[in-house]
Chains A and B, each alone.
Chain A
Amino acid sequence: MTAETNGFGPVATRTRTASGALLGVLLIAYAYTVVTAPIDATQGVIQKILYVHVPLAYGAYLGFVVTALGGALYLWKADEKWDRLAVSGAEVGVIFCTLMLVTGPIWARGTWGKWWSWDPRLTVTLLLWFVYLAYLLLRNFSEGGSRTARFAGVYGLVGAALIPLNYFVIEIFGGRGMHPENLERGSLGEGMGMPFVIGNLTLFVAFAYLLLLRWEVETLRARNLAESVDPVALAREEIGT
């Protein structure tokens, strides 16, 4: 089965293959820059968790933005491929968000002396995770169909409102929480910029690879399901009669 006949775009397949190859090169650069990055004078070596924790957060945001965009496009165009993209974005976003919620407490235990604090950023992040976990549960435990997809489209759009809240919550609360403020240009120490950029680039490419792979799986599953329901119609569609 070719990329075109399985209903998944050849451009998307080529992009996934290219991102997979690029990822291999980036992983080597990522490991090298993290190992050789300078050790923070205050926190020590544990500060290097920054180079994975923050990119994971950006990946989670990106996944949930994809869910909102996919949902919006589905509501507008009524094309199921956008709904499948929305589901894929939510799943990959939840994976990244889960890992952010794992790496954060590991860092916290080493610096604050405790795994968790009900700080505004941490609380809103947990809420964000629950919102998209509920989205995935909705998609997995409902019958599917256009009604579910429409509801999920609206849910994804409303849920995306939590992303800016999550990002700006520290400023909204006037920096009173335990979580450090958002990074700004020049706020990293000397020599820490490169591993941070490479870390973000690596996890962005990993995100793109996983998203496209997940989207292809969702497309193949939908196609198989449709084929099992009406094989004759699909065979006709393939030969163009």
Chain B
Amino acid sequence: MNYLIAAYGVTAVSLAAYTLHLVRERLRARESASRARETNNG
């Protein structure tokens, strides 16, 4: 049972962490684009 929990647990945690990382990267890239646009307009 421990092996089963380890296999599913490591998969679930890793995929969730990777998703969060990508969501944060997308937000960061969008903020960076907005700042650049404001600077250009200002």
Contacts and interface: CB of A to CB of B under 8 A. Distances in A.
Are A and B interaction partners? yes
Interface of A: 1, 6, 34, 45-46, 48-49, 52-53, 56, 95, 98-99, 102-103, 106-107, 109-110, 206, 209-210, 213-214, 216-217, 220-221, 223-224, 227-228, 231-232, 235
Contacts, number: 77
A210 B30 contact: no
Interface residues of B, number: 24
Nearest to A51: B8
Nearest to A108: B3
Given A228-B36, A235-B40, A95 B3 contact: no
Nearest to A96: B15
A213 B4 contact: no
B25 A206 contact: no
Interface of B: 1, 3-4, 6-8, 10-11, 14-15, 18-19, 22-23, 25-26, 29-30, 32-34, 36-37, 40
A158 to B, nearest CB: 27
A49 B4 contact: yes
A29 B30 CA distance: 34
B11 to A, nearest CB: 5
B29 A224 contact: yes
Nearest to B8: A52
A235 B42 CA distance: 13
